Amino acid sequence: MDQTRSIYSKQSKDVEFQDVFYTVDRRTSFFRFAGQQQILKGVSGSFRNGQLSAIMGPSGAGKSSLLNAISGFRTTGVKGSIKMRRDNACYITQDDHHQTLLTVEELMNLSCDLKLKQRHKKEEMLTEILKNLNLNHRRNVTAEKLSGGERKRLSIALELVDNPNIFFLDEPTSGLDEVTAAQCIRLLKAMAQEGRTIVCTIHQPSATIYNYFDSIYVLAKGQCVFQGTPQATIPFLRLAQIDCPRHYSPSDYIIEVIDAEEGHMVPLLSELTENGKLTYHTKHPDLPLEPMQAITTLFVEQPKRQFLPAFFAGSAASTDGTLMGAAGALLEQVKVFSQHLQTERRDISGVQQFLVLMRVMLLRTMRARLALAIQLLHHTLCGLFFGLIFFQLGNQGGRMFDHLKFCIGAVLMIVYTQVMVPILSYPAEVKVVKKETFNRWYSLMPYYMALSVSRLPLQVLLNLTFMAMTYWMSGLPEQMWRFCIFVAVGLMISLVAEGMGLAIGATFSITNGSVVGPMIIAPLMGLAIYGFDFASQIPGAMNVLMKFSYVRVGVVALILAVFGFQREELDCDEIYCHFSDPRVLLKFLDVDKVSILHQFGLLAMLMIFFRVIVYISLRKRCYT
C-alpha cells in the first residue's frame, strides 16, 4: 500500500498536457488586426517527477510559449488539457527579476517572511539553502551586483524556501559560459533527484549538458518533433532515415535537421511522435527504441461551470476505468484536498503580507539614496526658482496674471514630475510582481495597498519641500492654516498624478508609456489653462469636460487656497488695482462660488479612478 501511495504521490508531481494550442493576435499596427497566429499547434507530452527535462528547439520554435502555457504563467490564448499542481509549482524567469536594492540575505528573509508562517529554525534553513547553492559567501551583496550564474542560483534559492515540487525555468543557462551553465544544470539535476519535477527551456545545449537531462522535448514550428531520453535521439532520427554523422552532437544535429530547408522534416518527425503523445526511450543509442505513451492521464473535458471548489482544479485527471485507477484518482484528490488545507494553514494573512511588503518598500526607498537625493534636489531647486520668479509678489494687487501663472506653474511642476517618475520606473517592477504573485509570495491586494501607502511619506516630504519654499518666498499671507491647505492641495494633486503615472506604468512598457504619458497630460494641461480670461462664458459642456482634468481642478483648488477664505485686500502700488480685492479676482475667474471641499472631492474621485486602473492593469498583467 505504501508503495502504491508513493507511486501516486510521485505521479501527482508529474506534468502532463494534451492537445495544447497557443494562439496570439497578429497586428500590423496598434489598430490593425491581421488575424491570429498559432504558436503551439496541439502539442502533447509529459514531464516526470524526479527527472530533469529540457524543452529544446530553434529560436522561435515556441519553447517559452510551451513553458508559459503548461506552467500557467500565461493563460490568455491557451487551449488544451494540462495536469499540473499549481499550488506546488514555481516559475523562474529568464531575466531573474528581483526586488532591487536588497541583499541576498534580505531577499531570502523576505521570501521566508512571505511564505512561511512558522519561522523557527529560519536562519539554519536559509544558511543551508545558501550553502547548497554556493551563495552563502554572497549574503551581504545586493542582487544587482551578483554575476549571471549567481543571480540564477539566487532565483532558485528564493523559491526553495517553501520547497515546491515543480520548477519551471525559462532558459536557465542563457548568458552563462559553458562551465557555469554545466554547474547550473548539475544543480538542477541534483534538485530533480531529490524528488522534484524540473522543466527548463534551453536553446542548444552542448553534448555534455545534453546528456545531463533525463528527458528531452524538442519543438519546431510549434510542434513536437522528438520526445524521449537523450540517448534515444540518434535512433529516433534513424526512424526518419536520417543518420547523425559520428562527429556530431545529437543536440546540434536534431536542431540542424529541423531547421534545414525551411523545416521540411518537421511534419514527418512530428508524426513519429504523434505531436508529443509518444515518447522514445533507450538506454544506449545502439539498443532498440521503445516508443511509449507519454500521457497516462485520461483527460476529461472540464465542465463549463465549476461548482466544485477550485482546489480540485489542479487535478484534472480522471481514472482509467480500473479499480486501481479509481483508487489512485481518489487518493490523489484526497491528497490535493489535504494539501490545500495545509497550504491554507501555512498561508500568511493579507495583513501580514501588507506589513512585510511595507517594510521592504520603505527600506528600498531609503536605500535608493541617489534617486532620493536627486528628487529632493529637484524639488528644492524648483521651489527656489519659483520663489525667485514670484519673489514677494503674493501680496501685490496689480499682478493678477502673475498670481495665475504662479498657481498654474506650481500645479504643472507637480503633475509632470509625479507622472513621469512612475511611467519610467514602474514597468520593471511589474515584471517582479508578476513573478512573485505567480510563485505565491503574496496576493495582489496586500501588495497594491503596500504600494499605495509606502509612497506617501516620500510624497509628503517632496511636496512639503517644494510648496513651503514657494509659499514663503512668494510672500503669501503668514497664516499657518492657509499654508496647510496650500500644501494639502499640492499633495492631493501629486497623489492623483502619481496614480496616473502608475496606471500608465502598469499598463504599458517604458517605450509606449513615455509616449502615452505626455499624450494624456497635454490635453489635461490645455483644459487647465483654457478660458480663465472669459471664465463666465465657458460653455456648460466644456465646464463638465474640465472637471476631468485634474490639472484644472488642481489649479482652481490652489487659487482658492491662495485667494479664498476671506483673504484681506492685497497691496496696491498704482493709482487703481482692479484685482486688489481677492473676491474680484475669484469672481472674474468664475470660481467665487466654488467650494475648495468640492475640488478636494473631485481630486479624490480622480485619484480613486486612477488607482483602480492601476489595480485592474496589475491584475491583467499578473493573471493572464
Ligand X SMILES: Nc1ncnc2c1ncn2[C@@H]1O[C@H](COP(=O)(O)OP(=O)(O)OP(=O)(O)O)[C@@H](O)[C@H]1O
Q: Please give the residue ranges that form the binding site for ligand X (CB under 6 A).
A: 24, 39, 57, 59-65, 203
DSSP character string of 463-479 = HHHHHHHHHHHTT----
Task: Considering the complex, state which of residue 220 and residue 411 has its C-beta at the smaller distance from ligand X.
Answer: 220
Q: Answer whether 599's CB lies under 8 Å from 556's CB.
A: yes
CA–CA gap between residue 309 and residue 269 (Å, rounded):
41
Task: Considering the complex, state which of residue 63 and residue 567 has its C-beta at the smaller distance from ligand X.
Answer: 63
Nearest approach, Cβ of 203 to ligand X (angstroms)?
Answer: 5
Q: Answer whether 75's CB lies under 8 Å from 624's CB.
A: yes
Nearest approach, Cβ of 47 to ligand X (angstroms)?
Answer: 17
For residue 539, give the C-alpha cell: 460653455
Nearest approach, Cβ of 204 to ligand X (angstroms)?
Answer: 9
CA–CA gap between residue 155 and residue 93 (Å, rounded):
9
Q: Answer whether 265's CB lies under 8 Å from 240's CB.
A: yes
Nearest approach, Cβ of 6 to ligand X (angstroms)?
Answer: 35
Task: Considering the complex, state which of residue 122 and residue 203 has its C-beta at the smaller distance from ligand X.
Answer: 203
Nearest approach, Cβ of 57 to ligand X (angstroms)?
Answer: 5
Q: How many CA atoms lie within 13 A of 159 on its CB side?
A: 31
Task: Considering the complex, state which of residue 93 and residue 470 has its C-beta at the smaller distance from ligand X.
Answer: 93
Q: Answer whether 52's CB lies under 8 Å from 214's CB.
A: yes
Task: Considering the complex, state which of residue 189 and residue 203 has its C-beta at the smaller distance from ligand X.
Answer: 203
Measured in degrees and rounded to the nearest 5, phi and psi for residue 491 equal: -65, -40
Q: Which residues make Cβ contacts (< 8 Å) with residue 587, sequence separation at least 6?
A: none
Task: Considering the complex, state which of residue 113 and residue 171 has its C-beta at the smaller distance from ligand X.
Answer: 171
Nearest approach, Cβ of 301 to ligand X (angstroms)?
Answer: 26
For residue 424, give the C-alpha cell: 519610467
Task: Considering the complex, state which of residue 137 and residue 620 has its C-beta at the smaller distance from ligand X.
Answer: 620
Nearest approach, Cβ of 71 to ligand X (angstroms)?
Answer: 13
In angstroms and rounded to an integer, the radius of gyration of the C-alpha atoms of the chain is 31
CA 532 from chain centre, in angstroms, equals 43
Task: Considering the complex, state which of residue 199 and residue 561 has its C-beta at the smaller distance from ligand X.
Answer: 199
Nearest approach, Cβ of 25 to ligand X (angstroms)?
Answer: 7
Beta strands 197-202 and 33-47 are unpaired
Nearest approach, Cβ of 294 to ligand X (angstroms)?
Answer: 20
- CA distances (Å), origin 310, targets 62, 74, 305, 527: 29, 18, 11, 49
Q: Please give the DSSP secondary-structure letter assigned to residue 396.
A: B
CA–CA gap between residue 82 and residue 84 (Å, rounded):
6
For residue 234, give the C-alpha cell: 540518434
Task: Considering the complex, state which of residue 176 and residue 489 has its C-beta at the smaller distance from ligand X.
Answer: 176
Task: Considering the complex, state which of residue 203 and residue 482 has its C-beta at the smaller distance from ligand X.
Answer: 203
For residue 509, give the C-alpha cell: 512598457
Q: Which residues make Cβ contacts (< 8 Å) with residue 99, sequence separation at least 6?
A: 107, 110, 143, 360, 364, 432
- CA–CA–CA angle 482, 410, 550 (5° rounding): 90
Nearest approach, Cβ of 24 to ligand X (angstroms)?
Answer: 4
